[in-house]
Amino acid sequence: MQYSSQAVAKPYFIAAIGLFTGQVLFGLIMGLQYIIGDFLFPAIPFNVARMVHTNLLIVWLLFGFMGAAYYMIPEETETELYSPKLALLMFWIFLVAGAATILGYLLVPYATLAQMTGNDLLETMGREFLEQPLLTKIGIVVVALAFLFNLTMTMLKGRKTSIAIVLMLGLWGLAVFFLFSFYNPHNPVLDKYFWWWVVHLWVEGVWELILGSLLAFVLIKVTGVDREVIEKWLYVIITLTLVTGIIGTGHHYFWIGTPEYWQWWGSVFSALEPIPFFAMTVFAFNMVNRRRREHPNKAATLWALGTGVMSFLGAGVWGFLHTLAPVNYYTHGTQITAAHGHMAFYGAYAMVVLCIISYAMPILRGRAANSEKAQVLEMWAFWLMTVAMVFITLFLTAAGILQVWLQRYSATPIPFMAAQDQLTIFYWLREGSGVMFLIGLLVYIASFFVGGEARKAAA
Amino acid sequence: MSGTFTKSMARNIFFGGTVFFALLFLALTFDSLQTLPKRDNRANLTPAVAAGKKVWEVNNCIGCHTLLGEGAYFAPELGNVYKRRGPEFIKAWIQAQPTGAPGRRQMPNFHLTEQQLNDLVEFLKYMSEINTANWPPNIEG
């Protein structure tokens, strides 16, 4: 690596992969609870498993983003990190706080946890994805501020590239919008309205800036295409993202008590949200086709192309599938939503983090690229996980269509649980695909331990 | 994307476009906040409803159920459960959990007091009276 302080990225990446594994294991538990309802009850009720599953997702992606930023910013700014020690300290604080939170979910009844951690002082818990105790939320803010301080100070003393600026914008946006998680009014409609300012403006807003800059960084490295060209593409893509995505928040304001004009604003703008993802796919393939060098790290290139395609399918196509208000009227809050959520998060965020890890980790371990053998294994993992996620999504979509028909659309709607009983076959198929995903993940982890002759680090 | 279209033009469009649409979003939000009192049932936002919302939150109900379609998809929609089942059924149901029926999905017993049960029912009643543009499509949620 070019700057020794980039090494702080390594523990972040390792933690990300570890927590990712935990997320998948809890996903499998929940998948089985969908079929065998009392599986692990009362030790791990579904709501606890789901909280662990989604919170681990958020935390491992944050570890991935932070690791990526600590790796990229010194190289982009051409200067050492302002304080590697602060970065390592924050790593341990975040890891311990994250682990303590997950253990709290698993070991203490949620209501007791709320009481123990000061929820009575400021009620923020018990809302989807924002279940973290007040103390953890404050911890997240502290870690994020220290992280942003460290990187901003690094930026100030170095070169200011567009990739670095877009990354910092995304990361600052992430921290700023998280502050809305502290706002929880008694009025449920207001609560829901601003809850989306965290959730939507993260994943369909500022996180996409992070996604774009990570992808642009790796593409510059593996293709050798001129920075000017790549950074111009990056600006075009993120323009499309925010122009469609900000008002696109309206697709969450159809049925929660908000004015009905949101059905128009939300439908029209979110129908355009696939465009930036399509541009991203075209971008990735275009740059790889115009490459000026043959980078020895084939696996990283595969992840870069994969994240373009899969984010377009998962976030773009599967998002569009149910975003128009007349369709969403029937599909809102069904397995269709779950299908979209799985492929979008995997395609856009899990894959881009695995992409930067794939590119950076060999360098952090002192080589330009892993051995042929290790890369082949990693590419097997790519295909196993990606194909498994395609199947998870297809089976959940099938379950969702049937659910909508039985419970919402037919002339004689049946109750929720009666409809669920009819979906069992799809839930079994989904669980099988989930096992395939886990195998892919284990192969991925194994690829880090495979020897063979590695390419030497570039001088 | 070559020739006259430069990176700095792309950057300016990015910042200009983002600011424009962020301001538009804020304007729409401002208008929504003015309109909400007519739709969000706030005239009935009693202390009992607020207390019920807290019971809902600290027991992580959203981890299995949806509320106006948002949440987890493991258990029934509860935004309209007050109209579907009525207050007495809801209270009896919560107290009877878990059913223990082999192989069936289980809801934990949260050991709610009579007061908490009443507050929760008030909260669910409140939710069922929000103007949701006629969602869900039918009473099954």
- Sign of the Cα pseudo-torsion (A219, A220, A221, A223, in order): positive
In a domain, A387, yes or no: yes
Whether the CB of A50 is below 8 Å from some CB of chain B: the reply is yes
The residues near A124 (Cβ < 8 Å, ≥ 6 apart) are A130, A134, A137, A181, A182, A184
Best B4, B116, B135, B139 member to test A by mutation, with max A CBs in 10 Å, is B135
| Same domain membership, residue A403 and residue A269 | yes
| Enclosing H/E stretch for B70 | strand B70-71
Distance, CA of A268 to CA of B21 (rounded, Å)? 14
Other C-beta atoms within 10 Å of A441: how many? 20
Using the 3D structure, point to which of A160, A194, A209 is the last residue of a domain.
A160
In A152-177, which positions are buried (b, 16+ CB within 10 angstroms) versus exposed (e)? eebbeebeebbbbbbbbbbbbbbbeb
| Same domain membership, residue A223 and residue A152 | no
Output the CA–CA distances (angstroms, integers) from residue A206 to A167, A170, A175, A187, B59, in the order listed. Answer: 9, 5, 10, 27, 31
Best B31, B32, B66 member to test A by mutation, with max A CBs in 10 Å, is B32
Chain A hits for B27, CB-CB cut-off 8 Å, are: none
> Each residue of A170-217: pLDDT tens digit?
999 999 999 999 999 999 999 999 999 999 999 999 999 999 999 999
Q: What is the mean pLDDT of residues A386-399?
A: 98
| Same domain membership, residue A270 and residue A354 | yes
**CATH number assigned to the domain comprising residue A395:** 1.20.210.10
Q: What is the mean pLDDT of residues A302-311?
A: 98
Hey, are the CB atoms on A416 and B141 less than 8 Å from each other? yes
Interface of B with A in 113-132 (CB under 8 A): 123, 126-127, 130-132
pLDDT on residue A459: 41
Chain A hits for B136, CB-CB cut-off 8 Å, are: 255, 332, 408
| Same domain membership, residue A275 and residue A386 | yes
Q: Which amino acid is at A162?
A: S
pLDDT on residue A457: 61
Distance, CA of A25 to CA of A115 (rounded, Å)? 28
Whether the CB of A335 is below 8 Å from some CB of chain B: the reply is yes
| Same domain membership, residue A143 and residue A229 | no
pLDDT on residue A451: 80
Strand partners, B66: B71
In a domain, A189, yes or no: no
Nearest CA in chain B to A283: B1
Nearest CA in chain A to B57: A126
In a domain, A330, yes or no: yes
Q: Domain range holding A88?
A: 1-160
In a domain, A212, yes or no: no
The residues near A268 (Cβ < 8 Å, ≥ 6 apart) are none
pLDDT at A138 over 80: yes
| Same domain membership, residue A285 and residue A406 | yes
| Same domain membership, residue A110 and residue A254 | no
DSSP letters spanning A88-108:
HHHHHHHHHHHHHHHHHHHHS
Q: How far is B122 from chain A (nearest CA, A)?
A: 13
* pLDDT, chain A, mean: 97
As to burial, measured by CB atoms within 10 angstroms (0-12 exposed, 13-18 middle, 19+ buried), residue B87 is middle
In a domain, A448, yes or no: yes
pLDDT on residue B58: 98
Q: What is the mean pLDDT of residues A13-39?
A: 98
In chain A, the number of structural domains is 2
Alpha helices by DSSP H, A249-350: 262-271, 274-289, 298-311, 318-321, 325-331, 335-344
Chain B hits for A265, CB-CB cut-off 8 Å, are: 28
Q: How far is B141 from chain A (nearest CA, A)?
A: 7
pLDDT at A294 over 80: yes
CB B122 within 8 A of CB B50: no
In a domain, A187, yes or no: no
Interface of B with A in 83-112 (CB under 8 A): 98, 100-108, 110
At A428, list the tokens: 């079994």
| Enclosing H/E stretch for B71 | strand B70-71
Chain A hits for B137, CB-CB cut-off 8 Å, are: 329-330, 408-409, 413
> Each residue of A327-347: pLDDT tens digit?
999 999 999 999 999 999 999
Distance, CA of A392 to CA of A395 (rounded, Å)? 5
Hey, are the CB atoms on B40 and A417 less than 8 Å from each other? no
Chain B hits for A407, CB-CB cut-off 8 Å, are: 140-141
In a domain, A195, yes or no: no
Interface of A with B in 394-423 (CB under 8 A): 407-409, 413-417, 420
Distance, CA of A26 to CA of B123 (rounded, Å)? 31
pLDDT on residue B4: 87
| Same domain membership, residue A243 and residue A103 | no
> Each residue of B34-57: pLDDT tens digit?
999 999 999 999 999 999 999 999
**pTM, entire model:** 0.97
Hey, are the CB atoms on B36 and A119 less than 8 Å from each other? no
| Same domain membership, residue A12 and residue A132 | yes
Distance, CA of A296 to CA of A298 (rounded, Å)? 6
In a domain, A165, yes or no: no
**What stretches in chain B show pLDDT beneath 50?**
1
Chain A hits for B70, CB-CB cut-off 8 Å, are: 128, 192, 252, 256, 333
CB A56 within 8 A of CB A22: yes
pLDDT at A376 over 90: yes
> Each residue of A233-244: pLDDT tens digit?
999 999 999 999
Interface of A with B in 109-148 (CB under 8 A): 110-111, 114-115, 119, 123, 125-128, 131
Distance, CA of A175 to CA of A141 (rounded, Å)? 7
| Same domain membership, residue A225 and residue A156 | no
Q: What is the mean pLDDT of residues A240-265?
A: 98
Interface of B with A in 6-35 (CB under 8 A): 6-7, 10-11, 13-14, 17-18, 21-22, 24-25, 28-29, 31-32, 35
| Same domain membership, residue A252 and residue A130 | no
Q: How far is A326 from chain B (nearest CA, A)?
A: 11
Interface of A with B in 336-365 (CB under 8 A): 337-338
Split at pLDDT 50, 70, 90, the class of A453 is confident
> Each residue of A429-443: pLDDT tens digit?
999 999 999 999 999
Alpha helices by DSSP H, chain B: 7-35, 47-58, 81-85, 87-96, 114-128
Whether the CB of B46 is below 8 Å from some CB of chain A: the reply is no
Chain B hits for A241, CB-CB cut-off 8 Å, are: none
Nearest CA to A192 among B87, B71, B65?
Answer: B71
| Same domain membership, residue A266 and residue A147 | no
Phi/psi of residue A88, each to 5°? -70, -40
Other C-beta atoms within 10 Å of A263: how many? 21
Hey, are the CB atoms on B32 and A162 less than 8 Å from each other? no
- Measure CB to CB from residue A243 to each of B17, B106, B127 and give the nearest one: B17
As to burial, measured by CB atoms within 10 angstroms (0-12 exposed, 13-18 middle, 19+ buried), residue B4 is exposed
Other C-beta atoms within 10 Å of B86: how many? 12
DSSP letters spanning A398-445:
HHHHHHIIIIIISSS---HHHHHHTTHHHHHHHHHHHHHHHHHHHHHH
